[in-house]
Amino acid sequence: MSDSSSTEALLAILRRDLAGLAPGERLSSSRELIARHGVGPVTVSRAIAQLAAEGAVVTRPGSGTYAAPRQARAGAAAEDTSWQAIALSGHDRGPGATDPDAAPGEFGPSAPVPAGTIALSGGYLHENLQPTRALGAALARAARRPDAWHRAPAAGLAPLRAIFARQAGGAVAPEDVLVTGGGQGALSMLFRAIVAPGSPLLVESPTYPGALAAARAAGLRPVPVPTDDEGVRTDLLAEAFAMTGARLFYCQPTFHNPTGAVLAPERRRQVVDVARAAGAFLIEDDFARHLGHGRPVPRPLVADDRDGTVIHLTSLTKPASPSLRIGALIARGPVMRRLLEARRVDDFFIARPLQEAAVELLSTPAWDRHLRSLATALRERRAVLVDALSHEVPDWTPGLPQPSAGQTPAGGLHLWLRLPPALVDTAVTAAARDHGVAVDAGRHYFPAEPPTDRLRLNLAAAADLAELAEAARRLAVTARSLAGS
């Protein structure tokens, strides 16, 4: 008898035996099977391996082979994960927690976009705006380095830390920099490392929904601070600190997401002073530093901070590619030591090849050329989209938080729209998808009491200028369909 036929014959016998065993009951030992059925040890080993692969048995080295639970033998269709409801019941996501399935495309999975749909949603560049060739060349050069696969330092590669320090300016030193795996992971680390669960977190209203989700996952309680066309209202920020006793404020001073606002010059100093007076940290999310539309970009708040009040966060994913998961935190004093401790618990270090590729990319003239061409492209796209919307849906007002502002952003990836009173954001987003264009409902960006008359459009997600104009036309069709319903 051949080895394969012997194995099949033994499998048939063992399956009959297993049918009479209770889950967890021990199968005959290999020695017993060899003696009883007159087969060799290789045949027994192959048969047991096949049964284990099918989920019919569980092998425990040094102990034996046991009948698997009935669910495992029944296959995936019989899986029952209802027990997890009890296991997770002690960690409630909390009221208002962001539902990842309903969140905008830049945070969590969004619904599949049907073929032919024009994307004005999400938070990333279209592929044809990404520096694909420069990224490929940088990764290839990085891979050829002899130490490319060595373990990286916990704080990040020294050359990359130096680059991020130089970009921040002021007195920031490489020792103040911690390389991170993009911005979202850095936010999660910050919220868990700095304040205890149950603490209040002050946030601009509206704000980035990924920050709200990370805060709630860390057990924090987001408290909204209103904004206007010049950024967060510092008078109300001081009041919020006094009322809540908060020790952390999250903000986006430059090309704020979703509004595109830039914190006014006189408020930039005030916001740091208010946080310092409250004995609190200020997290400066500087995700859009490289997304200006050609105008000068204000210095980061951290560049002029001497007391360690500001914790600066930046990332390469927005100006380069969603898969370049490289960012940096800049912090001074004991808080940096705490962040390093969190790094050693979370993930030890960021993958060295990706860090090496970032060094290669940021050190070449190709990066500067990309940023210049990106600024031009974003400026052109903003102009085309604003013009098309003004013709197709003139009562959809692009602007900053104040109704009277009527401004368009000087940087960033987004337009923030106010809908006319008859329209509701979620109804518009659903109808727009039916008409072939994807946009983001504005309510996702508010930590509390969200208005229902806002939309956010990503001017960088469409393939080209023609798609932007066509998207505006489809939005006009959407508006007419809702008016007639």
Tell me what pLDDT residue 3 has: 61
Tell me what pLDDT residue 382 has: 95
Q: Is the pLDDT of residue 74 over 60?
A: no
Q: Which residue(s) pair with 386 in the sheet?
A: none
Both structure tokens of 158: 């020294």
Q: Are strands 248-251 and 281-285 parallel, antiparallel or unpaired?
A: parallel
Query: Distance (Å, rounded) from C-alpha 399 to C-alpha 22?
Result: 68
Q: What does the pLDDT look like over 233-289, one tens digit per residue?
A: 999 999 999 999 999 999 999 999 999 999 999 999 999 999 999 999 999 999 999
Judge if the upstream peptide bond of residue 258 is cis by omega within 30 degrees of 0.
yes
Q: How many residues belong to the chain?
A: 485
Q: Which of 93-97, 309-313, 383-387, 466-470 is predicted least confidently?
A: 93-97
**8 A C-beta contact, residue 189 and residue 346:** yes
Q: Which of 81-85, 103-107, 252-256 is predicted least confidently?
A: 81-85
DSSP string, 17-54: HHHTSPTTPBPPPHHHHHHHHT--HHHHHHHHHHHHHH
Q: Which of 112-116, 187-191, 280-284 is predicted least confidently?
A: 112-116
3-state secondary structure 434-472: HCCEECEEHHHHCCCCCCCCEEEEECCCCCCHHHHHHHH
Q: Are strands 248-251 and 200-205 parallel, antiparallel or unpaired?
A: parallel
pLDDT band for 2, please (50, 70, 90 cuts). Answer: low
Tell me what pLDDT residue 92 has: 45
Tell me what pLDDT residue 41 has: 84
Query: Distance (Å, rounded) from C-alpha 267 to C-alpha 154?
Result: 35
Tell me what pLDDT residue 407 has: 65
Query: Distance (Å, rounded) from C-alpha 483 to C-alpha 106?
Result: 29
**8 A C-beta contact, residue 119 and residue 463:** no
Q: Which of 54-63, 175-184, 474-483 is predicted least confidently?
A: 54-63
Interval 221-232 mean pLDDT: 92
Tell me what pLDDT residue 109 has: 44
Buried b (16+ CB within 10 A) or exposed e, 158-171: eebbebbbebbeee
Interval 342-355 mean pLDDT: 90
Q: Is the pLDDT of residue 221 over 90?
A: yes
pLDDT band for 7, please (50, 70, 90 cuts). Answer: confident
Q: Domains in the chain, start-ordered, CATH in brackets?
A: 3-76 (1.10.10.10), 118-127+366-483 (3.90.1150.10), 131-364 (3.40.640.10)
- Element at 225 (helix H, strand E): strand 221-228
Q: Is the pLDDT of residue 75 over 50?
A: no
Q: What does the pLDDT look like over 304-333, one tens digit per residue?
A: 998 899 999 999 999 999 999 999 999 999
**8 A C-beta contact, residue 452 and residue 115:** no
Interval 83-109 mean pLDDT: 46
Please work out, in degrees rounded to the nearest 5, the angle formed at the alpha carbon of residue 428 by the alpha carbons of 422 and 429: 160
**8 A C-beta contact, residue 27 and residue 67:** yes
Interval 394-420 mean pLDDT: 79
Tell me what pLDDT residue 401 has: 54
Query: Distance (Å, rounded) from C-alpha 412 to C-alpha 290?
Result: 8
pLDDT band for 4, please (50, 70, 90 cuts). Answer: low
Instruction: Return the DSSP state at 411.
Output: B
Tell me what pLDDT residue 86 has: 39
pTM: 0.79
